[in-house]
Amino acid sequence: MISIIIPVHNEFKNLQQLFKVGCFLEHDKLLEIIVAVSPMNSDMVNLLDNIPKVKIVRCKNKGRAAQMNEASTIALGRIFVFLHADVVPPTGFINDILHSLQNGYDAGFFSYRFDKDTWYLRINASFTAKDGLFTGGGDQCLFIKKDSFNELGGFNEDQVLMEDFEFFSRMKKQKVSYTIVKNDLLVSARKYECNSYLRVNLSNLLLVILFKLGCPGDKLKTLHNKLIRTPYNG
């Protein structure tokens, strides 16, 4: 059985849309969706508590890593799926996860495309179907066996930015087997709408390089906030 964990901070509108179009909600292997809410959250997310399988959890600490870890301690499924609020899963989402794990993998990610169709965003999206420098980003929706997640010690809560890449680096070191499912998620292009394409790409490249050189998470977060204008309150 599967537990989907969604870390959020003021993402009520995106969650409404996600649950409205989410045909995956009715899958018999989906046990629960845990919405891990930031303690600083100020929107109406509690109104979603009446949706079947959805559990709203107010977390003690803010930050994706901390919120996902807290949700994982109460999750009942044997498979964890970490989904962003502005990412919409494709048809066959749950079956793709189950088939990947049945085929011997311990974890995996999805390729994705953006909700705005431009040639330059198609270029960016094309890289998500391949194993490379940017594999492991949170928008690719990590799914992993609960036992494997716990053996890795969960997310590093000191990694306040790029916690997804840090976790993936430990996955590779521990030789956790993974696959990339080539069935596109639909990812919001809102960051590109508030910043130029060049600005986002150069900033992302710089942050990845600094991360791989060992730059601390808090410094990466500070730099990110200076480089990128965010269209949301997270």
Q: Domain coordinates of the chain in residue numbers?
A: 2-190
46 residue type, one letter: N
Tell me the pLDDT of the chain (234 aa) as tens digits.
Answer: 999 999 999 999 999 999 987 678 989 999 999 999 999 998 999 899 899 999 999 999 999 999 999 999 999 999 999 999 999 999 999 999 999 999 999 999 999 999 999 999 999 999 999 998 778 887 999 999 999 999 999 999 998 899 999 999 999 999 999 999 999 999 999 888 888 889 998 998 899 899 888 888 889 989 998 998 876 544
136 residue type, one letter: G
pLDDT of residue 233: 41
Q: Residues of 123-144 as b/e, b for ≥16 C-beta within 10 angstroms?
A: ebbeebbeeeebbbbbbbbbbb
Strand-strand pairing, 79-82 and 54-58 = unpaired
Q: Among the CATH numbers 2.60.120.620, 3.30.450.20, 3.90.550.10, 3.30.70.20, which is that of 2-190?
A: 3.90.550.10
pLDDT of residue 114: 95
